[in-house]
């Protein structure tokens, strides 16, 4: 045999081998190997569909799955609250589905702690063995937030592990829904379809990548169809076969992702929008909001303004509450919104133009003001004043400082001579440093120690305490008016006067607002009751003790009894010749901003009226307004 003929034969052999390998590869992707066939439950006993819920999301998903199983597919299941279920009955069950939320620090919700703990204990008990649930088939879907890192869906993952360890057969892998990722609905829908497929006797198969369900086979085959449109994309040169086979992942045009031009999702999902609109919020674009305050309505009717009127001279009927970011980095126990707004640790959404946000906010605000026309007490003069807002409280909901164009938005408000009060939750120190001058900058100081701050704010960041401290330090470098805002929650953060006083030196705030928490009704996301709401006398006592600790650096300056709120002010700055100057000369502020030169908080302070000063008979109520008290006729007890 000549060398040339030998070379030719080796080349043909290599070509045939490569071709054979390629078609075997394609054949294996098309001809999936049956792994299991799970028939309908032969046991007449209905399956159990458990919901482990804290806020109601898991229960709602479980109810939806129950309708899909029972009503549409005639697969009997009972909806079960684990709080009412005896875990020792689990060995009697043949079908179990669990929709499980993960709550604080990776723990289960309140309604399921005993259930989850029982499973954890029995799975490690050698007397139970690994065949305790061998006659049971199960599926678990987790509801959590990916923003919490390692604890994301920890409860669902652990339940799957425990059930497998006790011998139960997993029908589908643990599903993982992200409540803050905007894809919970679609992920749950896909997972539910797979559960139904298995329960109706559908085939569970496997390929080289793991388990595939019957509902996925069609998409796999269409991906491998070389004859279809675009099918040539999967053809691989024979020289590349020894490397890696064709990938199932298709290239995605970023400009078309989710139908959005920039490939970024919107912050406000349809569910979030519906929840916030139900609470009276007007949604602006994809991430902003505005809402009319009850104090705005009150002063329109001549019935008094909020504490900002007493402390700083803001006319409540000319104040607009808005935010350019509905998202927040905390899930505080006293949240007014009951956590219906989104959360996030960084800006990851589509971004709207600041000019459009301001224009729309003013438009929506004035429309809400117009709706008060004809309401008893609303005069034409006050109505016309309300239609020209002079102040914007950037504290409505969420974390406004997260918005990447916050400086441009503030500039636009100031250009219209609308003053700005901005509140930040002390988790973005770099943003505070980069912020342009605002009329008054707040930092929420909800607790004075690391443990209590974690308990009350439930922050997303692991380094929340370091961010908190750095935020206070960043406040010290600002030259305009700065405020620590303390929200007192009885039984949570009212015993740390010494610790709070030590925080004063870090930020050297001009003012310290101390306010009793507002009770907003019962909520699955909060353990607060009316017992946690301090009386105004409690807030006064706390404020006086805190002022005393400052050794004269701060004094109690103002109060607004109706809001259960007290103001401490820096004595050296704002007490001039024995008189407090906590109010603001707003026209002077706008003139200073227009000049573009550095200025300080003393440059635009104004005299505080006597009725707003701490200890005044009026208790912070403007005597030019009419005090109105509802008459309540309580039925006598029998």
Give residue-wise pLDDT tens across range 117-142: 889 888 887 667 778 898 999 999 99
Residue 86 has pLDDT above 50, yes or no: yes
pLDDT at res. 336: 53
Residue 456: pLDDT band (50, 70, 90) is confident
Which of the four pLDDT bands, split at 50, 70 and 90, describes residue 179? confident
Q: pLDDT band at 626, cuts 50/70/90? A: confident
Q: According to the model, what pLDDT value does residue 29 have?
A: 42
Is 2's pLDDT higher than 60? no
Q: What is the mean pLDDT of residues 177-206?
A: 81
With pLDDT > 90 as the criterion, what percentage of the chain qualifies?
Answer: 54
- List pLDDT tens digits, range 508-565: 999 999 998 876 555 455 566 777 788 999 999 999 999 999 999 999 999 999 999 9
Confidence of residue 11 (pLDDT cuts 50, 70, 90): low
User: Which of 11-20, 57-66, 394-403, 602-611 has the highest average model confidence (pLDDT)?
Assistant: 602-611
**Residue-by-residue DSSP string for 246-292:** --SPPP--GGGGGG-TTS---SS-HHHHHHHHHTTPEEETTTEEEE-
Q: What are phi and psi of 117, to 5 degrees?
A: -65, -35
What token pair was written down for 98? 């669990």
Q: Which domains does the chain have, with CATH numbers?
A: 45-198 (3.40.50.360), 276-610 (3.20.20.70)
- Is residue 511 helix, strand or coil? strand
DSSP, collapsed to helix, strand or coil, labels residue 476 as helix
- From CA 462, how far away is CA 134, in angstroms rounded? 40
pLDDT of residue 526: 56
Q: Which of 27-36, 179-188, 289-298, 393-402 has the lowest mean pLDDT?
A: 27-36
**Residue 269's pLDDT band (boundaries 50, 70, 90)?**
confident
Residue 337: pLDDT above 90? Answer: no
C-alpha dihedral (152, 187, 400, 305), degrees to nearest 10? -100
* For the ranges 101-115, 122-136, 252-266, 562-576, the one whose mean pLDDT is highest: 562-576
pLDDT band at 256 (very low <50, low <70, confident <90, very high): very low
Q: What is the pLDDT of residues 301-321, one digit of tens each?
A: 999 999 999 999 999 999 999
How many Å is the Cα radius of gyration of the chain? 31
Q: Nearest 5°: CA angle at 265, between 262 and 266?
A: 110
Residue 344 binned pLDDT confidence (cut-offs 50, 70, 90): confident
Residue 206: per-residue pLDDT: 41
Look at residue 4 in the predicted model and tell me its pLDDT. 52
State which of 105-114, 124-133, 274-283, 612-621 shows the largest mean pLDDT. Answer: 612-621
The answer to whether residue 155 scores a pLDDT higher than 80 is: yes
DSSP string for 533-562: SPPHHHHHHHHHHHHHHTTTSEEEEEEEGG
What average pLDDT does the segment 6-25 reach?
Answer: 50
pLDDT confidence tier of residue 271, bands split at 50, 70 and 90: confident
What is the average pLDDT score of the chain? 81
Residue 169 has pLDDT above 50, yes or no: yes
Across the range 223-238, mean pLDDT stands at 36
Q: Above 50 in pLDDT, residue 30?
A: no
Which residues does residue 137 pair with via DSSP β-bridges, in sequence order? 95, 169
Note the pLDDT of residue 1.
Answer: 54
Q: Give phi and psi for 112, each to the nearest 5.
A: -130, 10
Residue 631 pLDDT grade (very low, low, confident, very high; cuts 50, 70, 90): low
| pLDDT tens digits along 384-438 | 999 999 999 998 888 999 999 999 999 999 999 999 999 999 999 999 999 999 9
DSSP 169-232: EESSPPEEEETTTT-HHHHHHHHHHHHHHHHTT-EEEEETTEEEEHHHHHHHHHHT-TTSTTGG
Model confidence band, residue 38 (pLDDT cutoffs 50, 70, 90): very low
């Amino acid at each position: 045999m000549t060398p040339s003929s030998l070379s030719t034969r080796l080349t043909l052999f290599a070509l045939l081998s490569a071709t054979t390998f390629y078609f075997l590869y394609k054949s294996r992707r098309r001809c999936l190997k049956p792994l299991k066939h799970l028939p309908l439950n032969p046991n007449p006993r209905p399956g159990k569909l458990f919901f482990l819920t804290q806020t109601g999301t898991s229960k709602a998903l479980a109810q939806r799955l129950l309708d899909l199983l029972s009503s549409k597919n005639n697969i009997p299941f009972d909806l079960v609250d684990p709080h009412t279920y005896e875990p020792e009955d689990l060995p009697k069950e043949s079908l179990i589905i669990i929709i499980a939320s993960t709550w604080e620090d990776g723990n289960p919700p309140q309604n399921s702690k005993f259930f989850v703990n029982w499973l954890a204990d029995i799975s490690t008990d050698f007397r139970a063995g690994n065949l305790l649930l061998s006659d049971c088939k199960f599926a678990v879907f987790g509801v959590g937030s990916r923003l919490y890192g390692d604890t994301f869906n920890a409860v669902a993952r652990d339940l799957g592990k425990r059930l497998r360890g006790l011998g139960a057969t997993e029908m589908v892998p643990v599903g993982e829904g992200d409540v803050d990722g905007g894809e919970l609905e679609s992920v749950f829908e896909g997972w539910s379809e797979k559960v139904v497929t298995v329960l109706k006797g559908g085939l569970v198969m496997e390929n080289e990548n793991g388990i595939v369900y019957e509902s996925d086979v069609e998409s796999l085959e269409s991906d491998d169809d070389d004859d279809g449109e675009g099918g040539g994309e999967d053809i691989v040169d024979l020289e590349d076969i020894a490397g890696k086979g064709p990938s199932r992942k298709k290239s995605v045009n970023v400009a078309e992702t989710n139908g959005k031009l920039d490939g970024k999702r919107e912050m406000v999902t349809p569910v979030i929008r519906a929840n916030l609109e139900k609470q009276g919020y007007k949604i602006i674009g994809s991430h902003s909001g505005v809402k009319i305050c009850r104090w705005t309505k009150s002063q329109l009717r001549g019935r008094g303004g909020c504490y900002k009127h007493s402390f700083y001279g803001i006319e409540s009927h000319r104040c607009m509450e808005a935010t350019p970011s509905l998202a927040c980095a905390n899930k505080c126990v006293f949240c007014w919104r009951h956590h219906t707004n989104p959360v996030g640790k960084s800006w990851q959404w589509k971004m709207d133009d600041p000019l459009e946000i301001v224009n729309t906010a003013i438009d929506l605000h004035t429309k809400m003001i117009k709706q008060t026309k004809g309401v008893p007490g609303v005069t034409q003069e006050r109505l016309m004043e309300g239609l020209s807002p002079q102040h914007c409280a950037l504290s409505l909901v969420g974390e406004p400082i997260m918005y990447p164009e916050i400086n441009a938005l503030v500039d636009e408000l100031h250009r219209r001579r609308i003053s700005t009060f901005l509140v930040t939750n002390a988790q973005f120190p770099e943003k505070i440093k980069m912020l342009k001058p605002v009329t008054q900058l707040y930092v929420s100081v909800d607790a004075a120690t690391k443990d209590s701050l974690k308990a009350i704010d439930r922050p997303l960041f692991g380094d929340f305490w370091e961010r908190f401290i750095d935020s206070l330090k960043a406040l010290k470098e600002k030259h305009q008016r700065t405020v620590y805002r303390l929200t007192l929650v009885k039984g949570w953060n009212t015993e740390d006067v010494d610790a709070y006083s030590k925080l004063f030196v870090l930020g050297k705030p001009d003012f310290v607002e101390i306010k009793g928490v507002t009770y907003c009704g019962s909520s699955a996301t909060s353990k607060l009751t009316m017992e946690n709401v301090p009386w105004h006398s409690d807030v006064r006592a706390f404020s006086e003790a805190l002022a005393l600790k400052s050794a004269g650096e701060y004094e109690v300056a103002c109060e607004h009894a109706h809001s259960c709120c007290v103001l401490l002010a820096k004595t050296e700055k704002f007490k001039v010749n024995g008189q407090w100057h906590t109010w603001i000369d707003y026209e002077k502020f706008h003139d200073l901003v227009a000049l573009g030169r550095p200025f300080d908080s003393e440059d635009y302070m104004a005299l505080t009226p006597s009725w707003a000063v701490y200890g005044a008979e009026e208790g912070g109520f403007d005597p030019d307004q009419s005090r109105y008290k509802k008459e309540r006729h309580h039925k006598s007890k029998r």
